[in-house]
Amino acid sequence: MEFVQFYPLGFLSPPSLKGMLGGLLYYSRLYNSEGERFMKRYDPERLELSTRDRVTRAIIQEVKEGVAH
């Protein structure tokens, strides 16, 4: 495999689900520490259902800007 792909999402709580993605991808929403649903700025049409690379870039950009998740 030349390129490794991963999902940039997972649970932190409860501990029994830590790290798992589960089937909640279609029902999940991403918020930053300010309560903003930040995917509206990166892909306003698809939001959290955007492609993995766009969601990953959005999360990285939020972290670089110092907005905790």
37 has catalytic annotation: no
Does the pLDDT at position 46 exceed 60?
Answer: yes
End-to-end CA distance of the chain: 31
- Counted residue by residue, the chain has a size of 69
The upper half-sphere exposure of residue 12, i.e. CA atoms within 13 Å in the direction of its Cβ, equals 2
Q: What is the mean pLDDT of residues 23-30?
A: 73
- Please tell me which residue, 1 or 46, carries the higher pLDDT value: 46
Residue 10 above 90 pLDDT?
Answer: no
**Which domains, and CATH codes, for the chain?**
29-69 (3.90.700.10)
* Per annotation, catalytic residue among 41, 52, 54, 57: 52
Cα separation, 22 vs 49, in Å, equals 15
What average pLDDT does this structure show over 31-54? 91
Q: What is the pTM of this model?
A: 0.69
Q: Is the distance from CB of 28 to CB of 48 less than 8 angstroms?
A: yes
